[in-house]
Structure 1
Amino acid sequence: MPIVNIQILEGRSEEKIKEVISNVTGVMCTTLNIPKETVRVVITETPKTHWGIGGLSVSDYANR
């Protein structure tokens, strides 16, 4: 049973999250030749204040 962990910044719509889950599941099934019921996808949304780029939070990095 493959488990795919995805970390993204917060702010995507529920529809986009569902689309990612569906698309990732499809790729795993095609690539590994497995049934979709065996695939698990975990998406963790991180606040922009908790994600760093170059020593700055994403919220500060975007405003520099």
Structure 2
Amino acid sequence: MPLVDITLVEGRPPERIRTLIHEVHEAVRRALDAPGAAIRVVVREVPAEQWAAGDQTIAERRAAERQEQGDQGQGKQGQGKQGQGR
């Protein structure tokens, strides 16, 4: 009995998770010629605040990326205003 265990950061719509389960199930069935009823797929969703890499949670990394994008956007707006005054 094949068992596939998938861990993801939470936040995807249920339809996407259902599609993932179906696609993984079909891939295992084809690759191993396993009977469909014998294949198990487990999807675990972990909150972004509880998953870390390099001592930074995914939530912290996302917040930093949003901040960086906001800072870059403000810099571009500021440049445009300076150019208009000349």
Pair in the same fold by TM > 0.5 = yes
* Higher relative contact order, structure no. (Cα contacts within 8 Å, ≥ 6 residues apart): 1
Paired-residue identity, %: 31
Q: Which consecutive segments of 4 or more residues in structure 1 shift more than 2 A?
A: none
Mapping of residues 1-64 of structure 1, within 5 Å:
1-64=1-64
- The answer for unaligned runs of 5 or more in structure 1 is none
Higher strand share: 1
RMSD: 0.7
Normalized against structure 2, the TM-score is what? 0.71
Q: Contact 1:53/1:61 (CA < 8 Å) preserved in 2? A: no
The one-letter amino acid paired with 1:4 is V
Normalized against structure 1, the TM-score is what? 0.94
Deviation of 1:8 after TM superposition, in Å, equals 0.2
Deviation of 1:54 after TM superposition, in Å, equals 1.6
- The answer for unaligned runs of 5 or more in structure 2 is 65-86
How many residue pairs are counted as aligned between the two chains?
64
Instruction: Measure, in 1, the Cα distance between the counterparts of 2:63 and 2:47.
Output: 16
